[in-house]
């Protein structure tokens, strides 16, 4: 594999031929021919500008907990936000603002809030991944979604410039954020708005969220829920009633505890994709309901996940 010309920016955060399987929770995926791991706002803007100036598209990788990357070599540049992790706190009366760089693990944000009794983010308890990914997918649970606590998002725009977006002006939907739909912008910094409460109250609300996750296979290699809940129905329930639990393709298997989770037992991305499409077809045949993917698909596939093939 031939490396592209070195970017006209600091090379200390540029890497080549990086196996993506080591960076995603499913443990599958080909190698990225070039990866940027920016540590500062300027480095992130520089990576985006370089990609665009060289006619390149790019893929943003956070914690790797909600993505399925194909087994083939990943030909477009990857911008990995893992190097951008920091939390700064500002207090204004009873309101506490948590300014978080996009690569900050959500578990660190939640741990800091819980330690200090700051309430507002409990709906994201148990969600892996980074701040940027959580916001881009409006992550949440039955108790709410994270978008309701977003005060401000700073993004890197497709041309490398920066923009600020007030949380109340953003369109928040079920597992979606209007800022990132069809746009190649990257979350660089997110400000969460929380309220000074008590450790006991935050613990109570967190436990309420976690009760809804008790059936999830936390000890297996998964990437969270594979499909979105359609029209208020439970995708897991539809998959269960369609007989998907325990089904397998190669090293991929539908969890026995929650049918909307696919566990990887030394399988490939092709195994996982094939099993997911088989499950979706069974639900469509049984109930006439088409399931949309909640996990993001990246790379080159022999089948088209959006066509139901």
CATH number at residue 276: 3.90.78.10
Do 301 and 203 belong together in one domain?
A: no
Whether the Cβ atoms of residue 184 and residue 158 lie closer than 8 Å to each other: yes
Flag whether 143 is in a domain.
yes
Nearest CA among 165, 190, 152, 186 for reference residue 36: 186
Is the overall model pTM greater than 0.95, yes or no? no
> Do 99 and 184 sit in the same domain of this protein?
yes
1 domain-assigned: no
> What's the whole-number mean pLDDT along residues 183-201?
94
Active-site residue among 177, 225, 244, 279?
Answer: 225
Answer whether residue 306 shows pLDDT above 60. Answer: no
Q: What percent of the chain clears pLDDT 70, i.e. is strictly above it?
A: 94
pLDDT of residue 181: 87
Q: Does residue 73 belong to any structural domain of this protein?
A: yes
Domain CATH for 37: 3.30.43.10
Residue 199 is predicted with a pLDDT of: 96
pLDDT of residue 8: 52
List pLDDT tens digits, range 59-96: 999 999 999 999 998 989 999 999 999 999 999 999 99
Of 97, 99, 96, 104, the C-alpha closest to 88 is: 99
End-to-end CA distance of the chain: 31
Contact status, residue 142 vs residue 168, Cβ threshold 8 Å: no
| Residue-level pLDDT at 300 | 87
194 and 244 inside one domain: no
The answer to whether residue 18 is domain-embedded is: yes
Residue 228 C-beta-side C-alpha neighbours within 13 Å? 17
123 in active site: no
- Considering 53, 83, 113, which residue would you say is the last residue of a domain? 83
Do 74 and 126 share a domain, yes or no?
no
The verdict on 61 and 123 lying in the same domain is no
172: β partners: 177
d(CA 62, CA 69): 13
Residue 40 in this model has a pLDDT that exceeds 50: yes
Choosing from 175, 199, 213, 241, the catalytic residue is 175
Structure confidence at residue 117 (pLDDT):
97
CA-CA distance, 20 to 36, in Å (whole number)?
13
> Which domain does 26 fall in, by range?
11-83
Pair (184, 130) in one structural domain: yes
Pair 92, 119 in one domain: yes
304 belongs to the catalytic site: no
Which percentage of the chain shows pLDDT scores above 90?
A: 75
Whether residue 11 is predicted with pLDDT greater than 70 in this model: the reply is: no
Question: What average pLDDT does this structure show over 208-229?
Answer: 89
In terms of domains, do 21 and 122 share one?
A: no
Domain count, the chain: 3
Q: Residue 229's pLDDT is what?
A: 94
β 59-61/78-80 pair status:
parallel
Question: Does a structural domain hold residue 3?
Answer: no
Domain boundary among 158, 180, 211: 211
- Count of C-beta atoms within a 10 Å radius of residue 31: 17
Residues 194 and 126 occupy one common structural domain:
yes
> CA–CA separation, 290 vs 292, rounded Å?
7
The residue-averaged pLDDT of 221-241 equals 94
Q: Tell me the C-alpha distance between 246 and 296, whole Å.
A: 23
Q: Cα separation of 61 and 39, whole Å?
A: 14
| CATH code of residue 121 | 3.30.465.10
Could you tell me if 105 and 130 are in contact, meaning their C-beta atoms sit under 8 angstroms apart? yes
Helices 106-116 + 199-211 axis angle, to 10: 140
**Do the domain assignments include residue 222?**
yes
pLDDT tier at 128, thresholds 50, 70, 90: confident
3-state secondary structure of 29: coil
Lowest mean pLDDT among 46-55, 71-80, 270-279: 46-55
Quickly state the pLDDT bin for 288 (edges 50, 70, 90). very high
Does residue 194 sit in the same domain as residue 243?
no
When pLDDT is averaged across residues 244-264 and rounded to a whole number, the result is 97
The reply to whether 24 falls in a domain is yes
Going by C-alpha positions, the residue among 116, 8, 18, 5 that lies closest to residue 61 is: 18
Q: What is the mean pLDDT of the chain?
A: 91
The residue among 159 and 93 whose pLDDT is bigger is 93
Answer yes or no: is 39 within a domain.
yes
Consecutive H or E run containing 237:
helix 235-241
Q: Is 294 a known active-site residue? A: yes
Look at residue 9 and tell me whether its pLDDT is greater than 80. Answer: no
- How far apart CA 224 and CA 227 sit, in angstroms, is 9
In the predicted structure, residue 122 carries a pLDDT above the cut 50: yes
305 to 31, 160, 186, 271: CA distances (angstroms)? 21, 30, 24, 13
The candidate with the shortest Cα–Cα distance to 158, out of 131, 134, 137, 182, is: 182
Q: Identify whether residues 200 and 230 lie together within a single domain.
A: no
Of 83, 106, 138, the residue at which a domain comes to its end is 83
43, 122, 263, 294: which one is catalytic? Answer: 294
Res 215: pLDDT: 81
Whether residues 119 and 168 fall in one domain:
yes
pLDDT tens profile 130-151: 999 999 999 998 889 999 999 9
Whole-number pLDDT of residue 1: 37
């Amino acid at each position: 594999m031939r490396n592209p010309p070195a970017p006209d920016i600091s090379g200390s955060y540029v890497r080549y031929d990086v196996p993506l399987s080591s960076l995603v929770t499913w443990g599958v995926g080909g190698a990225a021919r070039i990866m940027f791991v920016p540590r500062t706002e300027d480095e992130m803007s520089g990576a985006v500008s370089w990609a665009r100036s060289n006619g390149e598209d790019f893929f943003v990788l956070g914690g790797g907990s909600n993505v399925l990357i194909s087994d083939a070599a990943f030909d477009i540049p990857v911008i990995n936000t893992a190097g951008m992790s920091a939390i700064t706190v500002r207090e204004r009366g009873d309101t506490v603002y948590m300014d978080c760089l996009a690569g900050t693990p959500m578990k660190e944000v939640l741990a800091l809030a819980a330690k200090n009794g700051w309430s507002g983010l409990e709906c994201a308890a148990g969600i892996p991944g980074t701040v940027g990914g959580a916001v881009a997918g409006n992550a949440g649970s039955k108790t709410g979604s994270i978008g309701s606590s977003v005060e401000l998002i700073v993004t890197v725009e497709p041309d490398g410039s920066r923009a600020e977006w007030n949380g109340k002006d953003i369109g928040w939907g079920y597992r979606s954020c209007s800022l990132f739909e069809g746009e190649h912008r990257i979350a660089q910094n997110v400000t969460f708005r929380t309220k000074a409460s008590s450790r006991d109250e935050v613990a109570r609300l967190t436990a309420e969220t976690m009760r809804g996750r008790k059936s999830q296979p936390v000890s297996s290699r998964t990437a969270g829920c594979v499909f979105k809940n359609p029209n208020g129905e439970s995708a897991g329930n539809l998959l269960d009633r369609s007989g998907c639990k325990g089904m397998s393709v190669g090293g991929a298997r539908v969890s026995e505890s929650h049918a909307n989770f696919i566990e990887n037992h030394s399988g490939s991305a092709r195994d996982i994709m094939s099993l997911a499409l088989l499950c979706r077809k069974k639900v469509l045949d049984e109930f006439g309901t088409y399931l949309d993917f909640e996990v993001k698909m990246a790379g080159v596939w022999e089948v088209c996940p959006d066509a139901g093939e």
